[in-house]
Amino acid sequence: MKEWRYWLAEQRGTLLAFGIFIVMFAIYSANHPAGFTANVVQTAANKGVLLAFVAMAQTLVVITAGIDLSVGMIFTLTNCMASWLVIGTGLETAFGVVAVLGTGVICGAVNGAIVIYGRLQPIVATIATGAVYFGLALLLRPVPGGSVNEDLADFLTGRFFGFVPASLMALFVVVLIVWVPFSRSELGRAAYAAGSSETAAYMSGVPIRRGKFLAYTLAGLLAAIGGLFLTFFTYTGEAAYASGNAYTLFSIAAVVLGGVSLFGGKGSAIGAIFGALAFRTIGDLLFVFDFDPLWQPLFQGVILLIAVSLGAFALFRVRNRLEWFL
Amino acid sequence: MDGAAPLFRMEGISKRYGGVRALEKADLTVTAGSIHAILGENGAGKSTLIKVMAGVVAPDEGNMTLEGRDVTFASPAAANHAGIVCIFQELSLIPELSVADNIVISDPPKRFGMIDRKAQRRIAEEALARAGASDIHPLALVKDLPLSRRQMVEIAKALARKPRILILDEATSALTAADVAKIFGVLKRLREQGLALLYISHRMNEIAELADQCTVFRNGRNVASYAAGSKTDNEVVELMIGREYSHIFPPKPARPQAGTPVLEARDLSWSDRLDKISLSVAAGEVVGLGGLDGQGQRELLLAFFGVLRGLSGQILVDGKPVSIASPSTASDDRVGMALIPEDRKTEGLMLPMTVRENLSFAALDRLSKAGVIDRGAEQRLIDDMVGLLAIKTAGLDIPVGALSGGNQQKVVIAKWLMRQPRIILLNDPTRGIDVGTKQELYQLMRKLADAGAAILFYSTDYDELIGCCDRVLVLYDGAVKRELIGAEITERALIASALNIHGDDARAGQGESA
Amino acid sequence: MSETTLGGIAGRMPKFIRRADPAVVTAFACIVVLLLVGSLYSRSFLSPEYLLQQLKVASFLGVIATGMMLVILLGQIDLSVPWSVATGAMMACAAAAYGPVGVALAIPFGILCGVAIGIVNGIGVAYLRIPSMIITLATNAVAQGLMVVYTGGFSPQDAATAAMRYLATGFTIPGVPNAVIIWALIGAAMVFVLTRTSFGRAVYGIGNRERAAYLSGIDTRRVVMIAFAVSGGLSAFGGVLLAGYASKAAQSMGDAYLLPSIAAVVLGGTSILGGRGSYLGTVAGVILITLLQSILSVMQMPEAGRQIIYGVVIVVMLLLYGRAPASR
């Protein structure tokens, strides 16, 4: 038996997303007026990384066969919060960062508690909590404003060694300290197991509830990291309803592009990251080809529609029609 | 091993589902270093017993002791922890995870708090080797494996937990003869290592080869325990059937001259579950489907009803080929078919909806003009049906879920009779209902046949097939293995052909599953 | 079982109370409480003029929530409401710019655009079996994209037709706003469909157990598809009315209707898992939400507070009624 085949099969979704991203980015940079320069890469990275964080958050919940429609609002709320707190001396800034991330964790934990222990459907529960988080964001920033520790912001959005975008490095670090341990932990596996088959997981004595709870909580944390970076890029906080909603929506698109199954149990956050980067690049392709930017929302919507329809092809293999109704 | 103190003991265990008693003060004693076979008909309470043992369901009463200490299991995990591991009939593997992930799922090896993949791989390979399934790659995903391989993984998974009591519930049902031989070797070795094994199987020859001790269950209680080999197969079958258990079946009419068949199948095949099935059912005839559970009987009924895609072969109604692509074509007037499905709670009824709504649900197209329901006509038809089937309900506007199991099943049947079907398919309609209602259903079935309906009747209860059917087709591995007509339909013939052994020349049957 | 004792007590009550869902009763009780609280803030709160004004505002939400309810009864959800509303409004106003024929066809055209969105949703859910929340999010994005392209990113310039304004703000019966009459008509039609037609029975059946409905010979996919089409059409019609109310369409006019329409349906006792709920409950939910909004604005509660209170109220109500059964 060939080892690499199993590895390939397991990583197929991720590799496909990676492939799409590479192709798209090649087309993008080849047609970019400035060409493939450190600047172009940095700008693209900074835009892509935001969605990548939110998509990672969405992945964790989707793996459990749930969905988090409040990720975009946690992202917005933590952005508003960071525009108040992540400022001042080093110590004050550090405290601010901790507070912002802690808020994300709490938001995620609240979602998890309502869904798992309150036994509500994830979709309605997170729409409702999303409203609460957006309300809190509005309380913090009724009008756009605020500021952020610019030294930290510039450091994390700039470049290392002149060509490595710092935001990409940050994403890499987050993957290493959040995703990798999660995916290899017992609770992470429980989250996968619960998403794939909750009955089988229960029969096998897997800690389903704790696994799912951890997934929702970490999703909050990741969305908060995204919110923090948004503040670093924009230097301000803004409770923008449309943008929060768009991030939620795009995170689902990125997750699907990244090979994560919406039915749960399958996929990885790495795939979702490439899905996010690919999605962003596809959206930006319109610019380099001099399309009217007005077409961008439609273009992204159509890509989303196609992405979610792709999964339906498995349906044509179903031979017992009762399986439609599982 | 004589004189050994019991490792595990269950006393006075009862469990009730709704109004049905699944277990009634059952006892069981398990000793270390032996293989204990549990026998019984379908629905005798074996499955419930082991679910209680494995912590999947909580018993209503009774107590369990492990090494003399009282124990209760709040979850399967708790039972596992105490050393009781069960290999369930319905597989407990997680499809999207790899074989190795599944084998260590309940207690993965860890390094620095993370799962140690190398160690996991090692454990999995060891366990697979012990189960004699080294051909399975530990990195393969479970969903990509065929059923027989999955069952081997399931066994390896159980072994990896280092159990003290290992329960195998029909664990060999999907295995090939070669795999069964390997598993038997493993089980015998485990017995030498001092494990207690509980073995549940319908295959008499397997039990004869393996077991040290046997316990027979009937109607939710243990009726006999004996040392293996001390009773003949005949005596065992008698114990399983029991003598006090008898039904009043309506008299069968003299065997009618075979009229033109209303429903016919020619070489019907589907996936690997149905294998060139040909049969015909004439008007006025009750044709039974027999065999062990899961030999393709359900699929056959679903195939007729238009649920399965990719069927090959032909279905004929009134001698003319028809193509049935959905239950709505199956039930329209041209075909006139009705299916009483397997599970009334999820397939037959909408439990929270009212009796009225459920009764008229399948006949709405007949009861409405331009989509508007004629409530007068609905009421008349419902009154007829409630009268005909003597459905006992506190009213038509209470949720159907509040009725007893037997009355629920009557509602399922009544809702189809409202269409006056010519072809009636019944999928184990008496499962979990009381004896009185069963008798009413037998009478009804005969009455419908006398009125000209063609009835195809699958039952897991051999008595019913004997008492109700004019003919019985016994299925094995998706194919019709034997047709029993009239007086040929006996308990012995049914069991023998279900096990795919012919008469008394006990030809080993398991090697034939391909 | 407590059901028997409950039944015994209930047996002595009048029929309409006996059959009432506790959720519906609670929702109406909450309405009474809100009215009392509101009257503490302002004397005029209980005046007929103010109440009729509230009912008029509620009728826009009522029309939209009617479609949402149909979809939720199936155990699905329609998240394309925001841009179905906006599309209906914009397309109706756009048609009005094309001469007298356009003016005449403005309202049907707007509704038809919503139906089209609904059909795409329906195909996705019923035939491709894509989870409804995903496909409806996607069609919402596509509808948004189309509208952005159409308007060029600016506020649309076309104005609502006189007919649209008349439907939303006029009076056919003195004292009763037309919008309220429209809601009443649509509501009556919905009650009829749900209780008296085979389509309505099929909707409840599918919501309870699609498997059983399918095995009973119902073409469940067609029913699901039609329900989504109706939901899209009613959302668009809501948009048409809103455009008539404001005299023009606006980009994000539908955003404020997604959460309230789901909330109204769920607070009215319709199970989010489908199969259970009455239109009376939805009426109560719509009025409840509208009054809540009104009181919050009378109290001069900022948008932030309203969002938070919405979210919390929905979660709390769901925890009271909408929980899935325990697994063991």
Q: Which of C117, C120, C137, C272 is the best mutation test for A, with the most CBs of A within 10 A?
A: C137
The whole-number pLDDT of residue B256 equals: 61
- Chain C's closest residue to B75, CA to CA, is C328
**Which conformational region is residue B245 in: left (phi greater than 0), alpha (psi within -120 to 50 degrees), or beta?**
beta
Answer whether residue B499 shows pLDDT above 90.
Answer: no
Examine the pLDDT at C10 and tell me if it is beyond 50: no
Which of A11, A260, A262, A320 should we substitute to test contact with B (largest number of B Cβ atoms within 10 Å)?
Answer: A320
How high is the pLDDT of residue C324?
Answer: 61
Where on the phi/psi map is residue C267: left (φ > 0), alpha (ψ -120 to 50), or beta?
alpha
Extract the tokens encoding A113: 């508690």
Residues 361-400 of B with CB under 8 A from A: none
β pairing state of B320-322 and B312-317: antiparallel
Quote the tokens at residue B108.
């993965």
| CA separation for the pair B249, B441 (Å, rounded) | 10
| Nearest-Cα residue of chain A relative to residue B79 | A205
Q: What is the arithmetic mean of pLDDT over C306-315?
A: 86
| Among candidates B328, B332, B351 on the partner chain, residue whose Cβ is nearest the Cβ of C218 | B328
pLDDT band at C157 (very low <50, low <70, confident <90, very high): confident
CA distance C234 to B77: 50
Q: How far apart are CA A147 and CA A73, in angstroms?
A: 20
Mutate: best of C78, C119, C128, C136, partner A, most A CBs <10 A: C128
Q: Is the pLDDT of residue B507 over 70?
A: no
Q: Which helix (H) or strand (E) holds C59?
A: helix C48-73
- The answer to whether B389 touches B444, Cβ cutoff 8 Å, is yes
The single residue listed with the structure tokens 């209602």 is B437
Quote the crossing angle between the two packed helices C178-196 and C279-298, to the nearest 10°.
150
What does the block give as tokens for B346? 């999820």
How many folded domains does chain C comprise?
Answer: 1
For residue B358, the chain C residue with the least C-alpha distance is C205
Q: Which residues of B touch C211 (CB under 8 A)?
A: 346-347
Confidence (pLDDT) at B207: 82
Pairwise CA distance, residues B279 & B258, whole Å: 13
Other beta carbons within 10 angstroms of residue A310's beta carbon come to 12
Give B423's strand partners.
Answer: B337, B454
Q: Across-strand partners of A265?
A: none
Nearest to residue A227, comparing CAs of A131, A137, A166?
A: A137
Least confident span in B273-282, B325-334, B431-440: B431-440
Q: What domains can you pick out in chain B, each with its CATH number?
A: 6-241 (3.40.50.300), 260-336+421-505 (3.40.50.300), 347-419 (no CATH)
pLDDT tens digits for B428-448?
A: 898 767 767 888 899 999 999
What is the SS3 assignment for B393?
coil
- Is C216 in Cβ contact with B327 (below 8 Å)? yes
- Write the residue in C137, C141, C308 that is nearest to A132 by C-beta: C308
Instruction: For residue B219, give the nearest of B29, B49, B404 by alpha carbon.
Output: B49
Residue B177: pLDDT over 90: no
Q: Pick out chain A residues at pLDDT < 70.
A: 1, 311, 314-317, 326
C204 lies within 8 A of chain B by CB: yes
**pLDDT at C3 (0 to 100):** 38
Listed in sequence order, the residues at least 6 apart from B215 whose beta carbon sits closer than 8 Å to its beta carbon are: B28, B36, B37, B38, B39, B222, B224, B225
Find chain B residues with C-beta within 8 A of A196's C-beta.
94-97
Q: Is residue C224 part of a domain?
A: yes
CA–CA distance, B191 with B193 (Å, rounded to integer):
5
Give pLDDT tens digits for C206-219: 999 999 999 999 99
pLDDT band for C6, please (50, 70, 90 cuts).
Answer: very low
Residues of B engaging C, defined by a Cβ cutoff of 8 Å:
58, 305, 307, 326-328, 330-332, 339, 341, 346-353, 357, 360-362, 364-365, 367-368, 371-373, 375, 394, 397, 402, 415
Model confidence pLDDT, tens digit, residues B128-154: 998 888 889 999 998 888 777 888 898
Assign residue B319 a region (left: φ > 0; alpha: ψ between -120 and 50; beta: otherwise): left
Cα–Cα distances in angstroms (integers) from residue B169 to residues B37, B244, B410, in the given order: 10, 27, 32
Residue ranges in A148-295 assigned as alpha helix (H): 150-157, 166-174, 180-184, 186-196, 198-203, 208-234, 241-257, 269-288
For A11-310, CATH number out of 3.30.300, 1.10.3470, 1.25.40, 3.10.620 equals 1.10.3470
Contact B428, B13 (CB under 8 A): no
B219-228, B242-251, B252-261, C112-121: the lowest-pLDDT one? B242-251
Q: Nearest CB to A6: which of B105, B106, B140?
A: B140
What range defines the domain where residue C212 resides? Answer: 21-37+48-320
Per-residue confidence at B88, pLDDT binned at 50, 70, 90? confident
**What angle, rounded to 10 degrees, do the helices at C132-151 and A296-310 form?**
160
Would residue C6 count as lying in a domain? no
Asked, for residue C138, whether it belongs to a domain, the answer is yes
Residue C2 lies in a domain: no
Region B339-361: what's the mean pLDDT?
91
Banded model confidence at residue C12, pLDDT cuts 50, 70, 90: very low
Residue to substitute from C216, C278, C327, C328, interface B, most B β-carbons within 10 A: C216
Picking from A57-66, B193-202, C181-190, which range would have the lowest pLDDT averaged per residue?
B193-202
Q: Three-state DSSP class for C153?
A: coil
Give the residue on B whose Cα is nearest the Cα of A318: B309
> What is Dmax (Cα atoms) for chain B?
78
Distance CA A13, CA A32 (A): 28
Give me the amino acid identity at B346.
T
Record: contact B307-A321, CB cut-off 8 A: yes
B360 alpha carbon, distance to own chain's centre: 29
Got the DSSP string for B369-390? ETTEE-HHHHHHHHHHHHHHHT
Secondary structure (3-state) at B485: strand
Does a structural domain hold residue C96? Answer: yes
What CA–CA distance (Å, rounded) separates C122 from C116? Answer: 10
**In this structure, is residue C251 part of a structural domain?**
yes
pLDDT digits (tens, 9 = 90+) for B358-410: 999 999 999 999 999 999 999 999 999 999 998 888 889 999 988 877 889 99
Looking up residue C208, the CATH number of its domain turns out to be 1.10.3470
Answer whether residue B232 shows pLDDT above 80: no
Instruction: Measure the CA–CA gap between C69 and C238, rounded to whole angstroms.
Output: 14
The subunits that touch chain C, with at least 3 C-beta pairs less than 8 Å apart, are A, B
Domain ranges of chain A: 11-310
pLDDT reported for residue A183: 92
User: Measured between alpha carbons, how far is C230 from C73 in angstroms, rounded to an integer?
Assistant: 13
- Number of A to C CB contacts under 8 A, please give it: 166
- pTM for the whole structure: 0.82
Q: Whole-angstrom Cα distance, residue C135 to residue C121?
A: 6
ipTM score of complex: 0.85
Q: Residue A250 and residue A219: Cα distance in Å, rounded?
A: 15
3-state helix, strand and coil shares in percent for chain B, rounded to the nearest 5: 35, 30, 35
Instruction: Report which secondary-structure segment, H or E, holds B177.
Output: helix B177-192
Contact (CB<8Å) B137/A192: no
Task: Supply B255's token pair.
Answer: 């065997």
CA C263 to CA C275: how far, in whole Å? 17
> What are the distances in angstroms from CA C76 to CA B320, B352, C130, C144?
41, 18, 11, 21
Chain B residues within 8 A of A7 when measuring between CB atoms? 139
Residue type, C304: A
Q: Which residue has the higher pLDDT, C13 or B52?
A: B52
Nearest beta carbon to residue C311 from set A121, A132, A321: A132
Identify the CA nearest to B449 among candidates B297, B316, B250: B250
- Per-window interface: C 76-135 vs A, CB < 8 A: 77, 124, 128-131, 133-135
Residue C26: which residues within 8 A CB-CB, separation 6 or more?
none
Residue C3 lies in a domain: no
pLDDT at residue C19 in the model: 58
H or E stretch including A205? none
Helices C178-196 and C48-73: crossing angle in degrees, nearest 10, is 30
Q: Classify residue C277: in a domain, yes or no.
A: yes
Picking from B108, B113, B307, the nearest residue to A189 by CB comes out as B108
Which residues of chain C are within 8 Å of residue B327 when distances are taken between CB atoms?
214-217
Residues with Cβ within 8 Å of C69's Cβ and at least 6 positions away in sequence, in order, are C190, C265, C268, C270, C277, C279, C282
